[in-house]
Amino acid sequence: MRTLKLTLAYDGTNYVGWQRQENGPSIQQVLEEAFVPLAGAGTAGARPPAVVGAGRTDAGVHALGQVASVNLDSDLPADVIERALNVRLPLDVRVVDVADAAPGFNARSDAAGKTYRYRVATTPVLSPFDRLYMFHGPGRHDVSAMCRAAARLVGRHDFASFQTTGSWPLDTVRTIRRLEVREAAGELAIEVEGDGFLRHMVRAVAGTLLEIGLGQRSPDTITDVLAARDRQAAGRTLPALGLTLVTVRY
């Protein structure tokens, strides 16, 4: 038995998220099913190996560098496993790397941090080629004000105001190491790196910064939003389609 570390990229549009669910296909499901022939699980009653993902991305969220771990009883070289998985996976899910990991490696519990990117199209008309990967927020945005607000979120804070209502984590304190707002032609990119994130936290941070960019709230209100520990104090949660898991750090 060996432990493998997988790096994946996927278009999350047609999936209910990473984790297996009853209401539709998940990334975890299609990946585990692709492993069945490799694991010799073709015999009656056999089960595919359990694949653990670093981040439980929600329905519609994409990934460039999701990481997963799996224990596999196979002597096949890593590059052969990579090719075999991609043959069996749907075209909107790709394994971009397979490597042997230390025994006991767990993609979720061993992760030290993640980077997410939220993309906003600011053009008057959204390109049909971007409609599945960018939120449409047309207009001029005060990027300088957004950056000032972002700087106030960097560090270790209680982010309860940015978690989905009804979530009950034991601890809502997280550390944001980097939060940048970049502007290019017709696009805003909000990129955040942290040790972990509450449910929908990045999308709520992006929604709050977007309101600041449009002049709907002041950058100075961020301090009060954090102190409130109330979801109603922050901005709206932006749609999942603009969010991408970029990298996982170990």
Give SS3 for 15: coil
Q: Does the annotation count 100 as an active-site position?
A: no
Query: CA-to-CA distance for 177 and 189, rounded, in angstroms?
Result: 17
127: buried, middle or exposed (CB in 10 Å: 19+, 13-18, 0-12)? exposed
181: buried, middle or exposed (CB in 10 Å: 19+, 13-18, 0-12)? buried
The residues, ordered by sequence, that sit 6+ positions from 78 with a Cβ below 8 Å of its Cβ are 4, 98, 99, 100
Q: Which two tokens stand for residue 207?
A: 């929604």
Query: CA-to-CA distance for 60 and 63, rounded, in angstroms?
Result: 10
Beta bridge partners of 62: 244
CB environment 66-93: b (16+ within 10 A), e (fewer)? bbbbbbbebeeeeeebbebbeeebeeeb
Catalytic residue among 58, 97, 110, 130, which?
Answer: 58
Beta bridge partners of 78: none
**What type of residue sits at position 13?**
T
By annotation, the residues acting in catalysis are: 58
